[in-house]
Structure 1
């Protein structure tokens, strides 16, 4: 009788564990699939804003619109006031800017469509990456060449771990973080590892680095 009870308990908990693992595999597969589906697809916006023109042609720094990127988890989106700093004087009557003018007049924010949306179980903070010399282009690609913004790659766990295991080839001087055309030098990157006190791979790849 006792042997039978042990067998039933083993079968029960084995079934529970099996169902749990199956759910983990299914939902992780769905999450990865969703990330991959967004890769390379332009995301239409309510206002036809061209990064290629503003960042590439005019040379506006990422920080002009994404002002929180150096100290906050989320880089932030520009308030209408930022747009109107120029467009009160530059093409103020353009039909493409109708929603911007409406937002300005009503005092209501523009509703931009999100381009990158990491799963809720992933913790990411822009500030430490910028402080350690990781350029915007490493994750966001050549934004200065995108007429319509898109996610250039799938932000999978492997993508993050590849960098965390070996960050040196992806590091640059802090003053070059916002330079989209900068090409990282692996030798300089190894020096920057020490200069910027980048944590060792064993710590960077710890589970609680990205999952908290």
Structure 2
């Protein structure tokens, strides 16, 4: 059995892992692979963000192995969950395991508190190495994710072109107003507000209203 991993609970030499993926067959396969290692123990599974928060709260893992896509309609729901989990459990290590190789997503995952990012076709040895590194509170990225992150960080940032009306709607979003309240403030219909919000999210490549505000703040649009 491997020596105790720094960052784990006292008296335990096993890395306690929760698997978060919306496909049961993927979770089953990961469990089978990981539990062949003497120092790895899968202590819980979850298929959704809400389930993950409950499971992590009860299982008290060292690491969450997290897919970014947790529903058919949202490719990056896992980003928001990553932020929630790391806020609720500051000592928790999150390792993203996903099919999406996108430098922007790698950077955003780090901003949300992830310690590592690997793609799903990574070999077992690399995945196990990454889990152990994250449990030691180190960062871990497979070679392609690291390259994508560096390329994204070195690429010039293009400022999204928002219309004056979209900027006004965005400022109201930043104050937490509902579509109905925004419509009342700007004297436009709720349907028109929804149209502008969709365009804002598309232009800022955001998956939620909160993420749109966050991205806009980074670009100094609000």
TM-score w.r.t. length of structure 2: 0.26
The structure with higher relative contact order (CA 8 Å, sep 6+) is 1
Instruction: Name the structure where helix makes up a greater proportion of residues.
Output: 1
TM-score w.r.t. length of structure 1: 0.27
